[in-house]
Structure 1
Amino acid sequence: MPTDGVEKATEQATQILELLWRHALPAKPGARGPKPGLTVDAVVDAGIALADREGIEKLTIRAVAAELGLRAMSLYTYVPSKDALLVLMVDAVAADDPAIPADLPIRDRMIAIATRIRTELIAHPWLLEVSPWRQVLGPARMRRYENQLRAISDAGLTDLAMDRAIAVLTDFATGNARLAVAAAGATAQLSDADWWQVHGPLLAEVMPAADFPLAGRVGTAVGEHYQAPADPDGAFAYGVATLVDGILADAGD
């Protein structure tokens, strides 16, 4: 990367990190801060409320400013860009995740890691649209990672295995949350029973049943049991229990 590109990236990273850790850092002597009457926290809260209500595609500096009764240019006093605001929003949401009770059995503590991630994503579906790669770590996400590690620190895993266990549980919870969010959005428009009433007979007409004997038999059983194409909640309960049992079995080797 050219020198000017590195300098620009460093400047942007410094600005975002200082915003993320604003409550932990001492105020700079003589620094010019935002105008009184509004805080960065209030801007972040407004961004979260907007994204929860209308989705991330509607999240703009102008829209958040309108939420607060301000002009768009005024908001740049508090956050330098939409990307920076998103980083702050992701960290702020993580602050709602308290420590996992230490008196729970280790298996329940590990399941809680995945359950809390899934619950957060379902409550804030826009998080699924934020790239998880190279996310800048703020105090809330670091605290959650610390709490997750503490929750499994007595499982007999190495440091690398603890990190990998948290990553695997998070990835599974994220994938299942994506399915649950999609299911909720679909049923809001047309119930699963109505959808299948339309598509079932049409599929039966075009699909040669003899070519798919197992898929036809299992698919019919699933549809009759769930009255839906799938069961995100049941799949999560089964999957996370299976994952945790596998992780704990590996820890005992």
Structure 2
Amino acid sequence: MPGDEDEKSTAQATRILELLWRHALPSKPGARGPKPGLAVDDVVAAGITLADRDGIDKLTIRAVAAELGLRAMSLYTYVPSKDALIVLMVDAVAATDTPIPTGVAVRERMIAIATQLRTELIEHPWLLEVSPWRQVLGPARMRRYERQLSAIDGIGLSDLAMDRAIAVLTDFATGNARLAVAAAGAAAQLSDADWWEVNGPLLAQVMPADEFPLAGRVGTTVGEHYQAPADPDGAFHYGVAILVDGILGET
């Protein structure tokens, strides 16, 4: 029945929020909890370790339980599902944020916002596989948002513009991080220099120069300069500076 499904969804959402804000909520008298000796934080940390090492595709309740030396069923005492665990993991990673510099110009603070997000995604590539849409906000992600807003508050942007500025910086950092992670994965199999040494001359042979005059010229220059198909790090520094200057130009 639809009513039963709605109640189930509400119960699941409530449980996830309670877990996210577990350190802020008072304990319920007489409530049955997990067995002593292990905490939800331990389960979340084990999930992050496994996802960092093996990727999110390998993240299962059974695998996390094995990481902790437990039986799979016992893990449900701590987290109700894999989806709930991932929500907790995302918030736990955000809790490791370093403070955004305060004694610098707003331009540097905005660049720091994007740089921090990009670094997090490169260090935890599985985050790129987690949908950010309707992502439940836990205390760490709310504190991050508060710090990000504080970094640009008072510079002449409206509330809506401040939110959009952070969203644009986040989207740019995410897209670039995705490219950087892909580049690192490819380089682990074959170095960029070796790849270009093989593919560069072959491309020059098969690509009609008169059909792609600009692509051929610019592509050759770029390939020889980077010794790679692209330069994610350089593109980030170049792009984020222009992006921030554009946002500040609206103030």
Using the aligned pairs only, state the percent identity.
82
State the Cα distance separating 1:9 from its structure 2 match: 1.1
* Aligned equivalent of 2:185: 185
| 1:162 and 2:162 are equivalent in the alignment | yes
Alpha-carbon deviation of 1:212? 0.2
CA contact (8 A) 1:65 1:71 kept: yes
Write the distance in 2 (CA, Å) between the matches of 1:163 and 1:245: 17
The count of corresponding residues between Structure 1 and Structure 2 is 251
Structure 2 portions without partners, runs of 5+: none
- Note the 1:194-233 alignment, pairs <5 A: 194-233=194-233
Structure 1 runs of 4+ with >3 Å offset: none
Which of 99-108 and 240-249 deviates more? 99-108
Tell me how far apart the structure 1 counterparts of residues 200 and 102 of structure 2 sit (CA, whole Å). Answer: 49
Two-structure CA RMSD over aligned residues (Å): 1.1
Contact 1:99 / 1:144 at 8 angstroms: preserved in 2?
no
With normalisation by structure 1, the TM-score equals: 0.97
Cα deviations across residues 134-174 of structure 1 (Å, max 9, x unaligned)?
Answer: 10000000000000000000221000000000000000000
1:12-31, aligned counterparts within 5 Å? 12-31=12-31
Superposed, which structure 2 residues align to 1:103-252 within 5 Å? 103-251=103-251
CA apart distance, 1:101: 2.4
Question: SS of the counterpart of 2:97?
Answer: coil
Deviates more, 1:199-208 or 1:88-97: 199-208
TM-score, normalising length from structure 2?
0.98
How far apart in 1 are the matches of 2:2 and 2:161?
37
Alignment of 1:38-57 (within 5 A): 38-57=38-57
Unaligned runs of 5+ in 1: none
Structure 1 stretch displaced more, 239-248 or 195-204:
195-204
Deviations 1:106-130 (A, max 9, x none): 0000000000000000000000000
Seen in structure 2, the aligned counterparts of structure 1 residues 67 and 221 have a Cα distance that, compared at 3 Å, is same
Amino acid at match of 1:177: A
Output the CA distance in 1 between the equivalents of 2:249 and 2:52: 39
Counterpart residue identity of residue 233, structure 1: D
